[in-house]
Structure 1
Amino acid sequence: MKVSIKHLFAAVTLFASSTVLADVLADIKPLQDRWAEVNYALPEDDREKAFAELLANADKVVGGNPDKAEALIWRGIIKSSYANAKGGLGALSVAEGSKADLEQALKLDPTALQGSAYTSLGVLYSKVPGWPIGFGDNKKAKELLLKALEQNPQGIDPNYFYADYLAGKRDWAEALRYLEIAKAAQPRPGRESADAGRQQEIAALLAKVQKKLKK
């Protein structure tokens, strides 16, 4: 069978792209594992220092993968978690850094990690104070979280965080609907610790929502 140069080039390009993706996924795996450990297993008082140390590792991963959305997404997630652990006005500059990473990831590849940049950026806009203190914006948060759901409609994270957003708006019935989807989400291979921790958060929010609906 005769193979055209065009088809051969396409096959080589696809193979190269798959190899590059595999490489960056291998690079971010230790970040994912440690993030889950810090976020769900460490005492709250120990998290700020641990996230600061993890951020240094994320800087190295991004340094080796400066044009890869996946690396920027995970540095953005770690910065967001670090800002949350840090608290106060001092956390705002860290949150700004997270926002910059996630926005850059969206420019590079909005579909990376099933649209995770949309989820994390939506959470930032939801949780950070609004003007004049910070960049928080509920309308923007909703827009981003809905885009995340378009990318990954059955995913545990986009459904949980949109439910959390809805609960913040006291839309208990809709929050319950998305929590049920999050609870039934398929396990993510290699993300067992993160899934277990997220399911605990889902259970806690579910109990709160169900209590509100019974009133």
Structure 2
Amino acid sequence: MTKLRLTYLSLMIAVLFASACSDVPGNTLDGAPGGDSKVPTGTLGDHGQDDAAHYEKLVREARGAFLDDPRKIEEVELSAELYQRATEIRADEYLVLWEAARTCVWLGNYGPEDKQKDYVMQGITYANTALKVKPDGPEALFYDGALAGKLAELDISYGADGLKTLMSRMKQLVDMDSKYIYDAPDRVLGITYMRAPGSPIGPGDWDKAEGHLTRALKYDPNWPENQLYMAELEFSLADERDKPELAERARKRLNEHILSEDAVAPMGSKFEFKKWQEEARKLIEDNK
């Protein structure tokens, strides 16, 4: 059993026996429809034009700091700070809100460990606010789910509701036929079904995992994550179905699409591509 599957097993067991489970926060920023957060935010103040110009400058700089390639942790942290300052001026622009949530989920994954939960909590507030502005916005739905799932990983007390929110949002996006980030909704569902233990402990299901990851791979075979997680599934299915040829297919897939000299990082993903290469090498090492 892989370390990741053990992690999901631990999560499910803890969820089942947790004495106090917490719901993923529903806070939103003031200035959005129905805003209720105590975080100090607002709309354009008395100096309307000056505030508007400052807001646009902050957003522009926040976006640039995040999109720098390769990304640097300190630059993405700066992006988060700039988005926070921008949303203190106004918190009703959908694009800015989901971009801020994107920055926070990135820091939840790659930022300093002692700050990851705080960034995730901040991101959830942005995503919730974005959904107040645009309830069916695919970007906001995706980051709302991704952040809830990350919160469940970082704090076991949120495990049950975090996993529920993650799966609910991704299923909603699949039903909407959203292919956001190279079919991330199918990819995330596939990973969840693959790594989670099966019934009665968790939602794990090999067939569902295969279905979702196949859809993602078919939609964009050039996106490295689609190849990476299909390979992870193939290694698992090689043992589960006693088909060693699946493991060989996984090795070939990783070498061809991620580890070969010809494999290059997609535009804007140099930092992440190195992480995917590390995952690919570990998968091969763990499945010799």
* CA distance, structure 2, for counterparts of residue 134 and residue 211 of structure 1: 24
Structure 2 gap segments, 5+ residues each: 1-92, 239-245
Which of 240, 259, 267 matches 1:188?
267
* CA distance, structure 1, for counterparts of residue 158 and residue 233 of structure 2: 24
1:176 pairs with 2:251: yes
* CA distance, structure 1, for counterparts of residue 122 and residue 236 of structure 2: 31
> Residues 41-120 of structure 1 correspond to what in structure 2 (within 5 A)?
41-43=111-113, 46-87=115-156, 90-120=158-188
Q: Is the 8 A contact 1:67 1:108 kept in 2?
A: no
* CA distance, structure 1, for counterparts of residue 119 and residue 174 of structure 2: 27
Q: Is the 8 A contact 2:265 2:273 kept in 1?
A: no
1:126 match: 194
> What SS is found at the alignment partner of 1:48?
helix
> What SS is found at the alignment partner of 1:199?
helix
Q: CA RMSD in A?
A: 2.6
For normalisation by structure 2, the TM-score amounts to 0.56
Structure 1 gap segments, 5+ residues each: 1-22
1:3 match: none
Q: Which has the higher helix share?
A: 1
* CA distance, structure 2, for counterparts of residue 177 and residue 84 of structure 1: 31
Sequence identity percentage: 19
Higher RCO (CA 8 Å, separation ≥ 6 residues): 2
1:28 pairs with 2:98: yes
Which of 181, 184, 209 matches 1:141?
209
* CA distance, structure 1, for counterparts of residue 191 and residue 145 of structure 2: 12
Q: Is the 8 A contact 2:221 2:227 kept in 1?
A: yes
What displacement does 1:145 show?
0.6
2:280 match: 205
Aligned residue pairs: how many? 185
Q: Is the 8 A contact 2:152 2:162 kept in 1?
A: yes
Runs of at least 4 residues off by over 6 Å = none
Q: Is the 8 A contact 1:62 1:72 kept in 2?
A: yes
Q: Could you say if the C-alpha distance between residues 147 and 208 of structure 1 is closer, same or farther in structure 2, counting changes exceeding 3 Å?
A: closer
Which of 99, 102, 107 matches 1:37?
107
Q: Could you say if the C-alpha distance between residues 109 and 211 of structure 1 is closer, same or farther in structure 2, counting changes exceeding 3 Å?
A: closer
For normalisation by structure 1, the TM-score amounts to 0.73
Q: Could you say if the C-alpha distance between residues 129 and 90 of structure 1 is closer, same or farther in structure 2, counting changes exceeding 3 Å?
A: farther
Q: Is the radius of gyration larger for structure 1 or structure 2?
A: 2
Q: Is the 8 A contact 1:122 1:145 kept in 2?
A: yes
What displacement does 1:93 show?
2.2
Q: Deviations over 1:47-104 (max 9, x none)?
A: 33432332222111222221122321222222222222224x7512211111111111
